[in-house]
């Protein structure tokens, strides 16, 4: 089975090609083809996982792609337990979201195109996951960036959406550029981009430590961009302008996790270079805290979730930076389930009330029972309430910090967990409980159709249970399957469990007091901590900062370059263009007067000699034949002279 794993990404690619070339006019055919393809990938992924569970030895498959004698670039596929888990996760979430989209995107004028993009995304993301060389990975890395851009700006009539697409593309590109430079550094240091070979060399100390740190950090830049880590996190909240299922799939569950996946793949470098490990951990911790604090005060339901995503990704990066390979990737799995569920639930709410603003919602739980129930489950899971998935994975991260003695990082993580519990239940209470704040919207609200609620229920089930594969007192759980170098068994740490539960419950309780019971007034709180509130509400002024320090100066520079272009470069280009035209004009003249003239002249001469020879109707034909013979004669003369 494993050698055929390439079929997993290939099926969605096939569906993309079919839709674009043949089915684009038929909504039904396009969506069904796309869903069939991703379900096929899911089936294959499960088969791969089953096989890898039996034999967890990593396997590599390569085909030649570029074949110059001194320089070979193969396309490599690498299957190990992490890959197997990732392909199942990606294709499962993608399948559910594509089914959900049937209802959500119903009636959209570009429905078929939406499914074409979804297939392209599935192809790119699955390709990224099975890639076995950084070069192959980079190709797919850029492809997911492209599809993300296409889908954020899917409703490009809205200027704000097309701007968000551009912002996402450009911001992540900054990170990608670092990734690319890191690749080149690595290639010159190790002579290969094959992951296994590089790690072998790192392991045997064949690469200098400085080079490892430099290349590793540069490649980590790619992860910073893609996983929206500080300081490149600004694109993700804006990306919420895309259709909500897209936010769920790409900007919560899968693509943004690609950065975490890359960091996990870079684990040998992180282990070797302490500088790199420290940078990774600090960026993760800072992002987790910062994004969670911004999430406390936002009013757009999707943006709160976006900041929550950034914060949770920060958690994973933090875990990886502390060497917690198992913990980081485990949280990636569980997060994919509950965050996809939260987004789809938000989508269901938005579908019902046609607004993103939680200040216009309220009391919706009475009308949308399934959505509310599943949303609450996901919130309990992300807040880390026993025994839901989020509890186990978050606990694992705390345990890694505890074990490694990173107490400051542990405190930061716990603080972020408190904020997470608070903002999630702020959402829950404001959206689903209490009195409707906008009666008209409330009256029109209705539960979403079956093809939207069924994926919710499935994801809710997963949000509860997926974490159970990693329960610490399991002998053969997640940690004995996906691990780095040797299986990671943390003994159940009951103190930490109790602490994290208390923290989560107190966050929920505070939200309950403020937004359900109303015994603490949120307005007064905002009043009291006015300054902090304003900084948080304005997202630490990152956008304004970038505007003033990067974007404005770039504009000014472009203005100057444009003038230079116009004055100097354009002039040169025009000059060469005109010159070429002039040359061809000469050539034409030459053809008409010199060649034709010579031919005609010779023709006349010959005719004069030939005397009575008559003209055949087309003088031209004669000319043609003459040129042939002329060429013949000249060639022969050339060879003898």
Partner 1 sequence: MNLTLIIPEIFLFLWALLILFVDFFTAEEKKHRLGPLSLVGIVITVVLVVFSGQGQAFGEMFSADYYSLSFAIIFLGSAFLAICTSIDFARERIKHQGEYYALILLSTVGMMFLAASRELLSMYVSLELTTISLFVLSAYLKTDLKSSEAGLKYMILGAASSAILLYGISLLYGITGTTVLKGIQAELVGSAFPGPLLVISLVFIIAGFSFKLAAVPFHMWAPDVYEGAPTPITAYLSVASKGAGLAAMVRVFFGSLLPVTSEWIPLFMALATMTMVLGNIVAIRQSNIKRMLAYSSIAQVGYILVALSAASELATTSMILYLLVYMFANIGAFAVVIAFYNHSGTDEICEYAGLSRRSPFLAISLVIFFLSLVGIPPLAGFVGKYLLFLAAIQKGYYWLVGVAVLTSVISLFYYMNVVRQMYFRKPTKNDPVKVSWSLRLALVLSLIGVIAVGVYPDPFVSLISKAASVFVY
**Of positions 518, 591, 598, 613, contacts partner 1 by CB under 8 A:** 591
For residue 357, what are the β-bridge partners?
300
Taking the least distance from each CB to partner 1, the nearer of 510 and 630 is 630
Distance of alpha carbon 79 from alpha carbon 45, whole angstroms: 11
67 binds partner 1 (CB under 8 A): yes
Shortest Cβ distance from residue 197 to partner 1 (Å)? 20
606 binds partner 1 (CB under 8 A): no
Shortest Cβ distance from residue 621 to partner 1 (Å)? 5
Shortest Cβ distance from residue 162 to partner 1 (Å)? 19
Q: Binding pattern to partner 1, positions 287-316, x when CB under 8 A?
A: ------------------------------
1 binds partner 1 (CB under 8 A): no
Taking the least distance from each CB to partner 1, the nearer of 608 and 638 is 638
Distance of alpha carbon 153 from alpha carbon 159, whole angstroms: 9
| Three-state SS at 288 | helix
Shortest Cβ distance from residue 17 to partner 1 (Å)? 9
Taking the least distance from each CB to partner 1, the nearer of 492 and 631 is 631
Taking the least distance from each CB to partner 1, the nearer of 475 and 615 is 615
Tell me the Ramachandran region of residue 487: left when phi exceeds 0, alpha when psi lies from -120 to 50, beta otherwise.
beta
Shortest Cβ distance from residue 189 to partner 1 (Å)? 26
Query: Which of 297, 502, 306, 313 is closest to 418 using CA atoms?
Result: 502
- The two counts, helices (H) then strands (E), for the chain are 28, 2
Q: Which residues in 607-626 contact partner 1 (CB under 8 A)?
A: 618, 620-621, 623-625
The CA-to-CA distance between both ends of the chain, in Å, stands at 69
Shortest Cβ distance from residue 635 to partner 1 (Å)? 5
70 binds partner 1 (CB under 8 A): no
**Of positions 538, 549, 554, 584, contacts partner 1 by CB under 8 A:** 584
Distance of alpha carbon 392 from alpha carbon 397, whole angstroms: 9
570 binds partner 1 (CB under 8 A): no
**Of positions 580, 593, 602, 605, contacts partner 1 by CB under 8 A:** 580
| Three-state SS at 357 | strand
Taking the least distance from each CB to partner 1, the nearer of 439 and 620 is 620
Shortest Cβ distance from residue 588 to partner 1 (Å)? 6
**Of positions 583, 598, 602, 613, contacts partner 1 by CB under 8 A:** 583
71 binds partner 1 (CB under 8 A): no
Q: Taking the mean position of all CA atoms in its chain, how far away is CA 431?
A: 29
487 binds partner 1 (CB under 8 A): no
Is residue 221 reached through a cis peptide bond, with omega within 30 degrees of 0 on the bond before it?
no
Shortest Cβ distance from residue 625 to partner 1 (Å)? 6
**Of positions 525, 532, 547, 581, contacts partner 1 by CB under 8 A:** 581
Asked if 296 and 419 count as a contact pair (C-beta separation under 8 A), the reply is: yes
Taking the least distance from each CB to partner 1, the nearer of 57 and 618 is 618
Taking the least distance from each CB to partner 1, the nearer of 53 and 636 is 636
**Of positions 491, 572, 638, 641, contacts partner 1 by CB under 8 A:** 638
Distance of alpha carbon 591 from alpha carbon 609, whole angstroms: 25
DSSP 8-class letter at 143: H
Rg (the chain; Cα; Å): 31
587 binds partner 1 (CB under 8 A): yes
Q: Which residues in 353-412 contact partner 1 (CB under 8 A)?
A: none
Asked if 500 and 384 count as a contact pair (C-beta separation under 8 A), the reply is: yes
Taking the least distance from each CB to partner 1, the nearer of 609 and 640 is 640
Q: Which residues in 7-66 contact partner 1 (CB under 8 A)?
A: 21, 63-65
Taking the least distance from each CB to partner 1, the nearer of 473 and 629 is 629
Q: How many CB atoms lie within 10 A of CB 60?
A: 17
Query: Which of 532, 129, 543, 103 is closest to 350 using CA atoms?
Result: 103
DSSP 8-class letter at 611: T
569 binds partner 1 (CB under 8 A): no
Size of the site for partner 1 (CB under 8 A): 30
Burial of 94 (0-12, 13-18, 19+ CB in 10 A): buried
Shortest Cβ distance from residue 16 to partner 1 (Å)? 13
3-state helix, strand, coil in the chain (%, to 5): 80, 5, 20
Taking the least distance from each CB to partner 1, the nearer of 558 and 592 is 592
Query: Which of 249, 257, 227, 258 is closest to 114 using CA atoms?
Result: 249
DSSP track, 61-122 = EEEEEEEETTEEEEEEEEE-HHHHHHHHHHHHHHHHHHHHHHHHTTT-TTHHHHHHHHHHHH
598 binds partner 1 (CB under 8 A): no
Burial of 585 (0-12, 13-18, 19+ CB in 10 A): exposed
Taking the least distance from each CB to partner 1, the nearer of 608 and 616 is 616
Taking the least distance from each CB to partner 1, the nearer of 548 and 636 is 636
640 binds partner 1 (CB under 8 A): yes
Distance of alpha carbon 596 from alpha carbon 609, whole angstroms: 19
Asked if 95 and 459 count as a contact pair (C-beta separation under 8 A), the reply is: no
Give the residue carrying structure tokens 């989020």.
Answer: 390
Shortest Cβ distance from residue 33 to partner 1 (Å)? 16
Query: Which of 179, 183, 198, 187 is closest to 268 using CA atoms?
Result: 198
Shortest Cβ distance from residue 119 to partner 1 (Å)? 17
Shortest Cβ distance from residue 64 to partner 1 (Å)? 5
Q: Binding pattern to partner 1, positions 186-225, x when CB under 8 A?
A: ----------------------------------------
Taking the least distance from each CB to partner 1, the nearer of 145 and 477 is 145
Residues making contact with partner 1 (CB under 8 A): 21, 63-65, 67, 577, 580-581, 583-585, 587-588, 591, 618, 620-621, 623-625, 627-628, 630-632, 635-636, 638-640
């Amino acid at each position: 089975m494993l050698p055929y794993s390439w079929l997993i990404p290939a099926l969605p690619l096939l569906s993309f090609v079919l839709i674009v070339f043949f089915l684009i006019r038929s909504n039904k055919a396009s969506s069904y083809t796309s869903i069939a393809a991703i379900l096929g990938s899911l089936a294959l992924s499960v088969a791969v996982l089953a096989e890898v569970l039996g034999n967890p030895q990593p396997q590599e498959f390569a085909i030649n792609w570029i074949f110059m004698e001194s320089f070979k670039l193969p396309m490599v596929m690498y299957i190990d337990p992490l890959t197997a888990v990732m392909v199942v996760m990606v294709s499962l979430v993608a399948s559910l979201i594509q089914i959900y989209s049937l209802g959500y995107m119903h009636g959209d004028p570009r429905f078929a195109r939406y499914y074409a993009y979804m297939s392209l995304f599935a192809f790119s993301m699955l390709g990224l996951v099975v890639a076995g060389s950084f070069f192959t990975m980079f190709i797919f890395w850029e492809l997911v960036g492209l599809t993300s851009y296409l889908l954020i700006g899917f409703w490009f009539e809205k200027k704000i959406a097309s701007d968000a697409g551009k912002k996402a593309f450009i911001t992540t590109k900054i990170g990608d550029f670092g990734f690319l430079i890191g690749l080149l550094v690595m290639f010159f240091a190790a002579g290969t981009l094959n992951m296994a070979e590089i790690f072998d060399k790192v392991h045997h100390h064949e690469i200098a430590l400085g080079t490892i740190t430099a290349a590793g950090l540069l490649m980590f830049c790619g992860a910073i961009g893609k996983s929206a880590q500080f300081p490149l996190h600004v694109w993700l909240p804006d990306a919420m302008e895309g259709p909500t299922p897209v936010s769920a799939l790409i900007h919560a569950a899968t693509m943004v996790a690609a950065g975490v996946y890359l960091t996990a793949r870079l684990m040998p470098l992180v282990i070797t270079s302490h500088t790199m490990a420290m940078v990774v951990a600090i960026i993760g911790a800072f992002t987790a805290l910062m994004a969670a604090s911004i999430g406390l005060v936002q009013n757009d339901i999707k943006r709160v979730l976006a900041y929550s995503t950034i914060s949770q990704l920060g958690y994973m990066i933090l875990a990886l930076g502390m060497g917690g390979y198992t913990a980081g990737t485990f949280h990636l799995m569980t997060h994919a389930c509950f965050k996809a569920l939260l987004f789809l639930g938000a989508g269901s709410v938005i579908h019902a009330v046609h607004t993103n603003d939680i200040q216009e919602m309220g009391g919706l739980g009475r009308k949308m029972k399934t959505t509310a129930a599943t949303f609450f489950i996901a919130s309990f899971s992300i807040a880390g309430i026993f025994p839901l998935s989020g509890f186990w994975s978050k606990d694992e991260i705390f345990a890694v910090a505890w074990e490694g003695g990173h107490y400051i990082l542990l405190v930061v993580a716990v603080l972020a967990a408190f904020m997470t519990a608070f903002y999630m239940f702020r959402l829950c209470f404001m959206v689903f409980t209490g009195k409707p704040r906008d009666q008209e919207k409330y009256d029109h609200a209705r539960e979403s159709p079956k093809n939207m609620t069924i994926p919710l229920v499935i994801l809710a089930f997963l949000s509860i249970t997926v974490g159970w594969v990693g329960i610490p007192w399991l002998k053969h759980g997640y940690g004995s399957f996906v691990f780095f170098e040797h299986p990671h068994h943390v003994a159940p740490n009951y103190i930490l469990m109790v602490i994290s539960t208390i923290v989560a419950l107190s966050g929920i309780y505070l939200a309950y007091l403020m937004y359900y019971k109303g015994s603490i007034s949120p307005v007064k709180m905002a009043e009291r901590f006015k300054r902090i509130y304003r900084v948080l509400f304005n997202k630490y002024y990152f956008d304004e900062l970038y505007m003033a320090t990067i974007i404005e100066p770039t504009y000014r520079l472009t203005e100057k370059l444009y003038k230079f272009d116009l004055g100097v470069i354009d002039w040169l280009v025009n000059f060469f263009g005109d010159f070429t035209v002039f040359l061809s004009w000469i050539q034409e003249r030459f053809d008409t007067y010199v060649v034709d003239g010579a031919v005609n002249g010779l023709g006349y001469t010959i005719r004069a000699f030939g005397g009575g020879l008559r003209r055949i109707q087309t003088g031209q034909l004669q000319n043609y034949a003459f040129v042939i013979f002329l060429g013949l004669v000249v060639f022969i003369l050339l060879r003898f002279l």
